[in-house]
Amino acid sequence: MSSMDIHQILKYLPHRYPFLLLDRVSSCEPGKSIIAIKNVTINEQFFTGHFPRHPVMPGVLIIEALAQAAAVLAYQTDGHRVNDDSIFYFVGIDNARFKKPVVPGDTLELKVEFKRFVRGIWWFSAVAQVAGQLVAKADLMCTLRSSQTSDQPDTHS
């Protein structure tokens, strides 16, 4: 099980500020699971408007952070790194649930488990926790596609 600092994470994700939502990977076991960390601070751009007097991390960004952790796990499992030729696309989410708000000062622990790979689709089960308390969970799907063609997944359905 390997850990990763931010410099290593940047080799596996195309995301950059302000949309990179992982700070560290605590452990990654390719083909099995990953645990990643997002340190939530008041300096996050989204807190300016969500909500000014009661800052709460948007649920969709918690799901995006889980999807980014899933992408790192998929890249590690498949032996790829981000390049100009291919990219993992987030193509589906099922059973998303939000249990508690995430606020500045929280350390978001993102746990993603690889479930299966079928016909080009990667399936994951994901949970987000703060101090051992469940804050969100979802089943995620992603696919690896060429970034050089118009062969993009249909994300409008």
User: Do residues 72 and 13 touch, judged by C-beta distance below 8 A?
Assistant: yes
DSSP letter assigned to residue 84? S
Name, in order, each residue with C-beta under 8 angstroms of 31's C-beta and a sequence gap of 6 or more: 77, 114
**Residue found under tokens 């990219």:** 87
Beta sheet of 86-98, edge-to-edge order: 2-4, 24-29, 33-39, 107-118, 121-130, 133-146, 86-98
Torsion of CA 140, 60, 87, 112, to 10 degrees: -40
How far lies 145's CA from each of 9, 19, 84, 154, in Å?
A: 20, 20, 11, 12
Q: Which of 7, 15, 50, 80 is catalytic?
A: 50
Active site residue 156: no
Q: Euclidean distance between the first and final Cα of the chain, in Å? A: 37
Query: Known catalytic residues?
Result: 50
